[in-house]
Amino acid sequence: MTTGGIVKRESRLADGRELFYFDDADTTLPPERAIDTRDLDTRPATATMRQDVLTGDWISIAAARQNRVFLPPAHLDPLAPATPDNPSEIPSRYDVAVFENKSPSFGPSLPEPGTPSALDDLREVGFERTRVSFGRCEVVCFSPEHEGSFGTQTVSRARTVIEAWADRTAALSALPGVEQVFPFENRGEAIGVTLHHPHGQIYSYPYITPRTERLLASIESVGRDLFERILETERAGDRVVLSGEHWTAFVPFAARWPIEVHMLPHRHVPDFAATNEAERDELAVLYRRLLRGIDAMYDTPTPYIAAWHQAPVNVGRDTVRLMLQVTSPRRAENKLKYLAGSEAAMGAWIGDVPPEQSAALVREGIEKA
């Protein structure tokens, strides 16, 4: 059992991949789980990273991802509980399920335990440098239903997903060679999702991501209390959209996207594993309410990326705070923001909606929801 009465059950898929069931505190499921009896192919080889000498960024070349399922009908949903006609990835009925991705961007190979950190090597820049894409990628299924998102779940189910994020963050952070763990949800075809099933993913990287490297540089420049000062400033302003005892959500001062909402815990916690039960309980209510409010802004569901930024595993633990960043390209009911020349080519952003106006629209959606 984890916390909040949520029970974790461990299993394996037919090709050896790990599978974890997280049963709701109020589950109606029996404890027994079926065995995966499929005859599966050998897992694809771990991908290879190549370095871009212009930026120093590492790009994982994961060709096996080309074979993933694309928008299947409900009766062939690979994330639904298995049936005789649909031998899916999950052999039993479940509340929340987490399993290793069949065609991951990172992993399944890991460096040998005790191998010295490769961060210094990865930060060097040179021509035609390659490295193994060590790490791990997992799929987090929020529900056995074919359609939905995190926001469409019950509060109890949302709490179970949060417990799964905390459990897997701790476990993945302990794997050799993993430097950062990133839970996220892609929602909507406009974002590029290939499955309608309500689910998210967790990436475990062998390096600190470029976005987090820039954050660490900002902390070095501005001060170790950067997140404390952000929270204090935003809570005193007019861009807050939702707040509780432990969390505050707000549209940031320099929002890039037409819809962009950040959420911070009121105390310093580096990742989900460090949150306490009260913080997880409140987050299940507030985060669900936030996403439902974003959906209620228009008559149809809003596409978004919900990104949970966590501190790296080995650095910045006392300065980088767990932070949600929800972003959507939806700039009007029937208009999307596309990254064209300035943003895509130069990384020079132009905002379409003033952040204060965006905050007012999100608050209206939350009230409507």
> What pLDDT digit, counting tens, does each position of 152-182 carry?
999 999 999 999 999 999 999 999 999 999 9
Report d(CA 13, CA 131) in Å as an integer. 28
Mean pLDDT of 235-254: 98
Work out the pLDDT band at 238, boundaries 50, 70, 90.
Answer: very high
pTM of the model: 0.96
Q: Can you give the pLDDT at residue 93?
A: 97
Residue 279: which residues within 8 A CB-CB, separation 6 or more?
A: 246, 247, 265, 269
Find out whether 169 and 101 touch, Cβ atoms under 8 Å.
no
Q: Can you give the pLDDT at residue 366?
A: 98
DSSP state letter for 321: P
Query: Which amino acid is it at 170?
Result: A
SS3 233: helix
- Residue 355: both structure tokens together: 């952040």
- Residue 30: both structure tokens together: 């029996």
Which residue among the candidates 199, 246, 262, 309 is catalytic per the annotation? 199
pLDDT value at 252 more than 90: yes
Mean pLDDT of 182-196: 93
- Pick the range with the lowest mean pLDDT from 1-10, 140-149, 184-193, 255-264: 1-10
**Which domains, ranges and CATH numbers included, belong to the chain?**
7-207 (3.30.428.10), 212-368 (3.30.428.10)
- Residue 267: both structure tokens together: 């105390």
Find out whether 263 and 153 touch, Cβ atoms under 8 Å.
no
- Burial of residue 54 (CB within 10 Å: 0-12, 13-18, 19+) is exposed
- Over the chain, what is the mean pLDDT? 95
- Is there a cis peptide before residue 108, judged by omega within 30 degrees of 0? yes
pLDDT value at 280 more than 90: yes
Known catalytic residue: 199? yes
Residue whose pair of structure tokens reads 């790009």 in the numeric block: 59
DSSP state letter for 343: I
Report d(CA 238, CA 250) in Å as an integer. 9
pLDDT value at 313 more than 90: yes
Render pLDDT for 5-58 as a digit per residue (tens, 0 to 9): 999 999 999 999 999 999 999 999 999 999 999 999 999 999 999 999 999 999
Report d(CA 148, CA 158) in Å as an integer. 12
Work out the pLDDT band at 112, boundaries 50, 70, 90.
Answer: confident
SS3 242: strand
